[in-house]
Amino acid sequence: MTFKYNIYGLRVGSRFKLGVYPQSSFKGTADVLIKKAKISRPEEGLERTVYKPYSVYNTDLYFLDVMGIAKYLVKGDNEVLLEKYPEANWQDVFAFLFDSIFTVILVKNNIFVFHASAVSFGKKSFMFCGTAGIGKSTLAASLAANKGAKIIEDDKCLVQYNKKTGKFQIKNQYPFIELWKPQLGFVKKIKGLVPKSRIRKNIQKFRIDIQEHRPKRAINLDQIILLNMSNMEDTIQYTEIKGIQKVNVVKNYSHMHHVVPALGKNKEHFMAISKIVQGIPVHSINKSRLTKLEDFIRYIEEEVI
Partner 1 sequence: MKSINKQLVDLKGKVVWMASYPKSGNTWFRCFLSALLTGKIDINRINTDGIFSSRHLFDGVTDIDSRLLDEEEAKLRMGNVYRFHLQYSSKLEFTKVHDAYSFDRNGNPIFPTDISHHVIYLVRNPLDVVASFANHSNTTKDHSIQLMNKKNGYLVKQKNGLNINNQLPQLMYDWSGHVLSWLDQTVIPVTILRYEDTKKDAVANFQRVMQSIGIKVSRKKVKEAVELAEFDKLRSMEEAGGFREKVATVKNFFRSGKSGGYRDELTINQVDKILEQHHRVMTRLEYHVPTFSV
Binding residues vs partner 1 (CB under 8 A): 52-55, 64, 66-68, 95-96, 99-100, 131-133, 180-182, 199-200, 202-205, 230-234, 256, 258-259, 288-290
Q: Smallest distance, Å, CB 104 to partner 1?
A: 9
Identify which of 98, 78, 108, 56 has the alpha carbon closest to the alpha carbon of residue 263: 108
What are the Cα distances from residue 297, in Å, to 51, 141, 161, 237, 250? 42, 11, 29, 14, 22
Nearer to partner 1, 132 or 244 (CB): 132
| Whole-angstrom distance, CA of residue 141 vs CA of residue 280 | 24
| Shortest distance, position 67 Cβ to partner 1, whole Å | 7
Q: How far is the CB of 263 from partner 1 (least distance, A)?
A: 12
At closest approach, how far in Å is the CB of 165 from partner 1? 34
Q: How far apart are the first and last CA of the chain?
A: 47
CA distance 193 to 183: 13
Is 276:159 a contact under the CB 8 Å cutoff?
yes
Question: What distance in Å separates the CA atoms of residue 262 and residue 49, rounded to the nearest whole number?
Answer: 7
Query: Least distance to partner 1 from the beta carbon of 241, Å?
Result: 21
Of 103 and 125, nearer to partner 1 (C-beta) is 103
Torsional sign, CA 28, 32, 34, 37:
positive
Residue among 106 and 221 whose Cβ is closer to partner 1:
106
Residue placing its CB nearer to partner 1 in the complex, 98 or 168: 98
Q: Which residue, 183, 188, 206, 182, is CA-closest to 196? A: 206
Give the nearest distance from C-beta 136 to partner 1 in angstroms. 10
* Closer to partner 1 by Cβ: residue 246 or 255: 255
Query: Least CB distance from residue 255 to partner 1, whole Å?
Result: 10
The dihedral through the CA atoms of 139, 141, 145, 148 has a sign that is positive
Nearer to partner 1, 194 or 290 (CB): 290
Nearer to partner 1, 165 or 204 (CB): 204
| CB-based contacts of 30, cutoff 8 Å, min separation 6 | 2, 4, 11, 12, 13, 78
